[in-house]
Homo-oligomer: A and B are copies of this chain.
Amino acid sequence: MSDDRLTAAELGEIWAVLSPEERADGVEHLERGEAHSFFLGLAEQEQAAVLLAMKAGERRLWMRLLAPDDAADVIQLVPQELRASLLEMLDEPTRREVAALMAYAEDEAGGLMSPRFARLRPDMRVGEAIRYLQRQAQAKLETIYYAYVLDQEQRLLGVVSFRDLITARSDKALSEVMRRDVISVPDTLDQEAVARVIAQHDLNAIPVVDAEGRIKGIVTVDDIVDVVQSAATEDIQKLGGMEALDTPYMKTGMVALVKKRAGWLSALFLGEMLTASAMGHYEDEIARAVVLALFVPLIISSGGNSGSQATTLIIRAMALGEVTIKDWWSIVRRELTAGLSLGLILATIGLVRILVWQAIFHTYGEHYLQVAATVAASLVGIVAWGTLAGAMLPFVIRRLGFDPASASAPFVATLVDVSGLVIYFNVAQVILQGSLL
């Protein structure tokens, strides 16, 4: 019997191709210890799907495995009409904890925290506290290594680590050994901001407090690794010009995969149609000087590329909290300088290219000097403008109340393409007036 049993490794191998029912069946047929850790290792979306695929009578055991913060997330992922029945499967104290957590959005501190932390009173002696934590060690606390000293109203007075306790004299009061300058976060703070606070101060755990200063739970650093990882994934996918996938790439179905990409791709396409209108506006110029058309892709892509660099830098700096909206003016100055420098570099390369090609192939006709000047001058303008627009777009988008990461590289490129054409043909009109135009 035990020999032909599925192992967790085997189940993991074929997981991607199984239906929800087959997944539920697979989990239930693992050896018990393996089954529990396999189930707990799944993403919340998958835990919810597996639970839904099980017979109602079998769900209780698995619901009770979940820590309260995970149970709250899973319950919020199932259809409304099933939530109450899942909640009822929990034991009474857990149910109250989970119900309290469900009041928070999943992506704020309150939705991330565990309500199971160790509470101590300030007048407790060190020895007493150690014995108390020792007895609590078998309880379902998130950690016993950090304990929080609270007053009668659950307000946070201080924190002690287990390490502090076992190195202190056992007859001292906690109020004498606790650290009072506790860094805490409000329960409504965005989880990425919580991650920044934890990373900045190298904390292992951070208490979460409500508006009245009462402690509601703690967030531990291991929860933060997932937050940081998935926040980066979301930003990267948005920067690539699509909606964030929510599920791992290989586990995302084809319909969802196309849907997440088609929206932005179509929007960018509609935006980019303005280039056809802009080009139409300069149709006569192109007809008279076809040589102008040759450089169109080169010119507009340079604007797009420099804009992509700038927008990527600013969005990441914003996500890391290195840059805030009040820095916009110093960024304008920095990026204008950078953009002009980069524009001059590309203009020089472009100039050399045209002169060399002309010398060898005589490609660009008798007015090649004016053509070269047009290309070079446009490049300086377009790269500087692309850089500046790329740097400012995240600020504009944040000001409008959206996620700055939506200022994707393709979005900036589209924006700069249209204005790049206008710059290019206007420069051409000035320089080529009387010769080619």
Please list the residues of chain A having a beta carbon within 8 angstroms of any beta carbon in chain B: 41, 134, 137-138, 144-145, 162-163, 166-167, 195, 198-204, 221-222, 224-226, 228-229, 232-233, 235-237, 239-242, 245, 248-250, 254, 257-258, 261-262, 264-266, 268-270, 272-273, 275-276, 279-280, 283, 286-287, 290-291, 293-298, 300-302, 304-306, 308-309, 311-317, 320, 322-323, 327, 330, 334, 337-338, 341-342, 345-346, 349-350, 353, 363, 383, 408-410, 413-414, 417, 421
Contacts and interface: CB of A to CB of B under 8 A. Distances in A.
Interface of A is mostly: helix
B334 A257 contact: yes
Contact of A276 (B275, B276, B295): B295
Contacts of A258: 338, 341-342
A327 B250 contact: yes
Contacts of A413: 301, 304-305, 413
A284 to B, nearest CB: 9
A305 B261 CA distance: 10
Contacts of A338: 254, 257-258, 261
A295 B276 CA distance: 5
B287 A245 contact: no
9 contacts: A137-B163, A229-B232, A236-B236, A239-B239, A250-B317, A254-B334, A266-B346, A297-B417, A305-B410
A340 to B, nearest CB: 10
Copies of this chain in its oligomeric complex: 2
Given A221-B222, A305-B410, A341-B258, A276 B298 contact: yes
A317 B251 CA distance: 11
B276 A297 contact: yes
B265 A346 contact: yes
Interface centre among A202, A233, A235, A240 (most CB of B within 10 A): A240
A195 B248 CA distance: 17
Contact of A248 (B221, B311, B312, B317): B317
Nearest to A234: B316
A297 B276 CA distance: 7
A233 B231 CA distance: 11
B249 A222 contact: no
A324 to B, nearest CB: 10
Contacts of A275: 297-298, 301
Contacts of A353: 273
B316 A269 contact: no
A286 B293 contact: yes
Contacts of A296: 279, 293, 296-297
A353 B311 CA distance: 30
Contact of A298 (B240, B272, B409): B272
Given A224-B225, A265-B305, A302-B269, A236 B312 contact: yes
Nearest to A141: B163
8 closest Cβ pairs, A-B complex: A240-B312, A232-B232, A275-B297, A249-B317, A279-B294, A305-B410, A293-B293, A409-B409
Contacts of A269: 298, 302, 305, 346, 349-350
